[in-house]
Structure 1
Amino acid sequence: MAAQPAEPTVEGTRNALQGRTRNRRGCMHTTKKILICGSGVAGPTCAYWLHKYGYATVIVERAKALRDGGQNVDIKGAGQHVIEMMALSDQIEAKNTQERGQKYLDADGKVIAVLPKGALGTLTNDFEILRGDFAQVLFESTKDHCEYSFGRFVTALEEKAGCIAATFDNGETEDFELVICAEGMNSSTRDRVMAAHTSFRYLGACMAFFKIPRREEDDGWAHSVNGIGGTFITLRPGNEDETTVLVTFLRRDHAITEDTPTMRKALLRRALEGRGAIADRITADLEAVDDFYFGPMSQVQASAWSQGRFVLLGDAAFCPTPFTGKGTALALVAAYVLAGEINRTADHSQAFAAYERLVRPYVEAAQKQLTPRRIRLMHPKSRAGIGLTHLAQRLVASQTVQSQFGPSAAKRAHTAADDFVFADY
């Protein structure tokens, strides 16, 4: 488990700034102080760059501490370029899950196709790290110059002339120059300010992810399995004694009325029933799972990313769903651009407009890669459909396809940072 960081408080931040006076507009005089809601990927990355430009940042996080472990995240393309600019490649490599590649299996575990790391079509990248481990790397790189406050969240925001006042769950109020909301796709802070601008695009499936104990058959490869009825399972290497699980299955209705973990686990069991030995293993371990997430496979599509001194970042603005494999890269790129534009101009409205103008096309291109139709194709319902999927998997893994198309794919991956044109801030 990742070491629990010290728990800085909003009160501590306030005491450190004693002696400030209110200006005639009713705002406390602060030195370019920015509040960031959320300690995942986007928030700390933005704090890193804002510090480079001389801004003071406070990160508030509803959770009591950084979450350890979590699901595998892929850092690739332009996101990898941001990591290199932050000089974090070595720290991430030290926590690499060492995933060797991807194997497609049938429902009982027989190998259908093998795609080693670097092969055309594999989900395995050079940077494979658990989300919690990545958050820990970002925390370590920012903790000395960013005030972290865990177990805190915003309950109200009031914009004034020259600042924005944030009220926290303990009733205390602080003034900030800006508020950056990077809480994730289900952000409550976003919904307090920009609910009218936020919509969700349901892709026709539900997803669950969690961890189970590692077994002998977990050989360092990602194992992906299609099941009848439109289920898809992927097991991946986690920490030393754990395997991460991602299950997706087709579901017409996006509304999930089951509102407790127990009820949602029961729904997942029904989806996995009769899906073979690998599904049986998951259901056998499900009762003891305590990090269970279950929800609709949806994309966040915000018609605007800012309002006044409040701006959205990361999944709170544009969650593409884990199935794109691009959520982390989008968060890293957007955080870099937002910080750079805030520093570039004293007018926050111009900075936010430039940030959205630069990043939105990149986000929309990633989101368009997934459609409800494509999700249905990836989740065949019938045995015949699964058989055709297995043929396609064997074809992609074949020496003919890999030798003919693999080198060009590798070249594209090597220059993937070019898929976003970075401004020099």
Structure 2
Amino acid sequence: MTGRRVLVSGASIAGPALAHWLHEYGMTAVVVERHDGIRPGGQTVDLRGAGRTVARRMGIEDAVRARSTSEDGVAFVDARNRVKAAFPAQAFGGEGFVAELEILRGELAGLLHERTRGHTEYVFGDRITAVDDRDDGVRVSFAHGADRSFDLVVAADGIGSTTRGLVFGGEARVVPLGLYTSYLTVPRAASDGSWARWHNAPGGRVVALRPDNLGTTRALMSFLCPPRGYERLPVGEQKELLRRVFAGVGWEAPRVLRALGDADEFYCELVGQVRAPRWSRGRVALVGDAGYCASPISGMGTSLALVGAYVLAGELASHSSHRDAFAAYERIMRPYVAQAQHLPPFTPRIAHPRSRVGIGVLNTLLATAANPVVQRVAARFLSPPADRIDLPDYTGLRRR
């Protein structure tokens, strides 16, 4: 139904993508973002399967390709930088460890913002503090701005969504996967090429480096650990934790640890998945990581965000009742999300061996999987289920 006014919380990927499609179908979106603007930088994300199809229908595929990191593949290396296994971006049909289209999260968010800011109101530096769901609409309070009324509210503010907490309480939960991961940007070095490099160290520790298109390098440091609240520590304490955990790790780890002190684009998270028994309550719905984060391990975060936004807006345009629209959205998306959240056995431990013997076994398995003949079988386990959804066609619902 055209004319609806929809408040979207979050301006990363799912939020602006939803704003795009709502406008296409004659609805008006207002996007509120707690940061002062679109957050730049961030780590590499990928468009694969149905996510790439949605990007094509949005008309942004070429723009994404132009801003791609042009990552040629990923190599698994030992402490002496010797390649133990390598997978080019074309492996597994371009849907493996590295996808054909890789782009920095901030670059994609900026692109979506550019494409929507002409018709979408963005409210930066604010956040939702209360949601009063009424029969005729939703009255929303903000930390700084005046109260406003909308027809619907959609939470697209990530795995730690505060909007989800306000409306769903503890009904939706984050299921930890026993892994902490930190991300930062480091100066580019002569040893960095066009391939991502992944290094396993004993103790379930990983250091990875990925090229970007901005003249720097994206670094990842992850380690197996049960939930201990590290994600809530002040940044300084998180960095000191990493220095302790990765002390003694060779390869490029000392270089990454030295860069910690000056790293502004630093983020530490407890890796997990969002499990929500339902994605709507009254006039409020969830989309993307806020509703069904599959974790970075899945390789499906961006695809779920883009596809979820596309389906949610399309179903809102297809139904006069928001309840019917939300029900249809969930019916279409649930199987796709369930597949994305179904991780290979022993994830993430299998990619983070604790012993040198385990690392040797992993490298042997990866080298075997890298064989083109074996790839056809290995694809069942190493390729995310990015295209396993029958995307509806909402073309006839677009504004003329």
Which secondary structure does the structure 1 equivalent of 2:253 belong to?
A: helix
Letter in 1 for 2:297: F
Q: Is the 8 A contact 1:156 1:168 kept in 2?
A: yes
Q: Which residue of 1 aligns with 2:44?
A: 72
Distance in 2 of aligned mates of 1:233 and 1:335: 33
Q: For 1:50-108, what per-residue CA distance to the aligned partner results, in whole angstroms no more than 9, with x for missing partners?
A: 11110011111111011112100010011011001111111101101111111111123
Q: Which residue among 104, 113, 122 is the counterpart of 1:139?
A: 113
Question: Is residue 119 from structure 1 mapped to residue 91 from structure 2 by the alignment?
Answer: yes
Letter in 2 for 1:198: A
Q: Which residue among 384, 391, 394 is the counterpart of 1:422?
A: 391
Letter in 1 for 2:389: F
Distance in 2 of aligned mates of 1:119 and 1:144: 39
Structure-2 change in CA distance of 1:50 and 1:257 (3 Å):
closer
Unaligned runs of 5+ in 1: 1-29
Q: Which residue of 1 aligns with 2:271?
A: 297
Q: Which residue of 1 aligns with 2:56?
A: 84
Q: Which residue of 2 aligns with 1:402?
A: 372
Q: Which residue of 2 aligns with 1:248?
A: 222
Q: Percent identity of the aligned residues? A: 39
| Aligned-pair CA distance for 1:290 | 1.1
Letter in 2 for 1:421: D
Structure-2 change in CA distance of 1:418 and 1:275 (3 Å):
closer
Which secondary structure does the structure 2 equivalent of 1:277 belong to?
A: coil
Q: Is the 8 A contact 2:11 2:109 kept in 1?
A: yes
| Aligned-pair CA distance for 1:168 | 1.4
| Aligned-pair CA distance for 1:248 | 1.5
| Aligned-pair CA distance for 1:323 | 1.1
**5 Å matches for 1:12-411?**
31-120=3-92, 122-256=96-230, 259-370=233-344, 373-397=346-370, 401-403=371-373, 405-406=375-376
TM-score (structure 2 length as normaliser): 0.93
Distance in 1 of aligned mates of 2:230 and 2:300: 25
Letter in 2 for 1:151: G
Which secondary structure does the structure 2 equivalent of 1:287 belong to?
A: helix
Letter in 2 for 1:45: A
Which secondary structure does the structure 2 equivalent of 1:329 belong to?
A: helix
Q: For 1:92-143, what per-residue CA distance to the aligned partner results, in whole angstroms no more than 9, with x for missing partners?
A: 0110111111111112322222222212485222111000000111111111
Which secondary structure does the structure 1 equivalent of 2:178 belong to?
A: strand
TM-score (structure 1 length as normaliser): 0.87
Structure-2 change in CA distance of 1:210 and 1:257 (3 Å):
closer
RMSD of the alignment, in Å? Answer: 2.1
Which secondary structure does the structure 2 equivalent of 1:85 belong to?
A: helix
| Aligned-pair CA distance for 1:297 | 1.1
Runs of 4+ in 1 over 2 A off after TM superposition: 252-258, 403-410
Distance in 2 of aligned mates of 1:408 and 1:385: 19
| Aligned-pair CA distance for 1:169 | 1.5
Q: Is the 8 A contact 2:77 2:198 kept in 1?
A: yes
Unaligned runs of 5+ in 2: 395-400
Paired residue total: 390
Which secondary structure does the structure 1 equivalent of 2:337 belong to?
A: helix
Which secondary structure does the structure 2 equivalent of 1:352 belong to?
A: helix
Q: Is the 8 A contact 2:41 2:265 kept in 1?
A: no
Which secondary structure does the structure 2 equivalent of 1:58 belong to?
A: strand
| Aligned-pair CA distance for 1:49 | 0.9
Q: Is the 8 A contact 1:119 1:406 kept in 2?
A: no
Which secondary structure does the structure 1 equivalent of 2:348 belong to?
A: helix
Which secondary structure does the structure 1 equivalent of 2:226 belong to?
A: coil
Q: Which residue of 2 aligns with 1:8?
A: none
Q: For 1:276-296, what per-residue CA distance to the aligned partner results, in whole angstroms no more than 9, with x for missing partners?
A: 131111111111111211121
| Aligned-pair CA distance for 1:354 | 1.1
| Aligned-pair CA distance for 1:48 | 0.8
**More off after superposition, 305-314 vs 188-197:** 188-197
Distance in 1 of aligned mates of 2:160 and 2:231: 16
Structure-2 change in CA distance of 1:109 and 1:252 (3 Å):
same
Structure-2 change in CA distance of 1:342 and 1:257 (3 Å):
closer
| Aligned-pair CA distance for 1:405 | 3.4
Distance in 2 of aligned mates of 1:320 and 1:108: 33
